[in-house]
Amino acid sequence: MNQQIRIFKDAFGDCKEKNCSYCDGKSAYKLINDSIFFIVDKDLGKPVKIALHGEYFQLTVENPKGLNICLIKTDKCLITDDEKTKRCDCILFNSNKIFLIELSDSTNRQTKRKESLEQLEDTIKLLRDKNIFLTNYQKNAIVCFGGQYRITQSSVNALKPYFKERYDFILDEKRKIIFS
């Protein structure tokens, strides 16, 4: 796991928003082996955080085997607004799976969905530009809306083959991911 984290650190560095960071030790990288945890991106201008029990959250992460999972806080931590780069909110990975995650609470889901897909696509391109090739991973790009659950829109379903063919990423819209 440390080797994989080192690859990201060599390419991107570490937390660049130390004055407003939730990051433990002011790092964009957090190892988690809890069997279940929750992620939220609620505070404008700050990176994602692990939600405490009972707090509002947008994404549930199940880890039934207690594997080491790395959370990389990309938006407003690893990559700042000054960099004018579109990026997803966070990346979660272990030794064989990687999830690029874009979180939203938008009431205008159609507009936000389009923007989220662009952010995921630009993050994939950014990883490639930084020579981070994920050939040995099951690669997933996830759009996650908080609030009331709704059926995945046809716009996401229509782009699934494009993401798979062009980037070798499985595109989905969901509120729970599972590492196993």
Q: What is the pTM of this model?
A: 0.91
pLDDT tens profile 158-173:
889 999 999 999 999 9
pLDDT tens profile 21-63:
556 667 899 999 999 999 998 877 788 999 887 788 899 999 9
Buried b (16+ CB within 10 A) or exposed e, 92-110: bbbeebbbbbbbbeeeebe
The greatest distance separating any two alpha carbons of the chain, rounded to the nearest whole angstrom, comes to 42
**Structure confidence at residue 156 as a pLDDT band (50, 70, 90):** confident
Q: How far is CA 66 from CA 31, 41, 78, 99, 157, in A?
A: 11, 24, 26, 17, 31
Question: Which residues, including other chains, have CB under 8 Å from residue 117's CB and lie 6 or more apart?
Answer: 143, 155, 156, 159, 171
pLDDT mean across residues, the chain: 87
Please report, rounded to a whole number, the percentage of residues in the chain having pLDDT higher than 70.
87
Buried b (16+ CB within 10 A) or exposed e, 17-38: beeebbbeeebbbbebeeeebb
Alpha carbon of residue 25 to chain centroid: 20
pLDDT tens profile 55-80:
888 999 999 999 999 999 999 888 87
> What is the predicted pLDDT for the residue at 21?
55
Question: Using an 8 Å Cβ cutoff, are 72 and 90 in contact?
Answer: yes
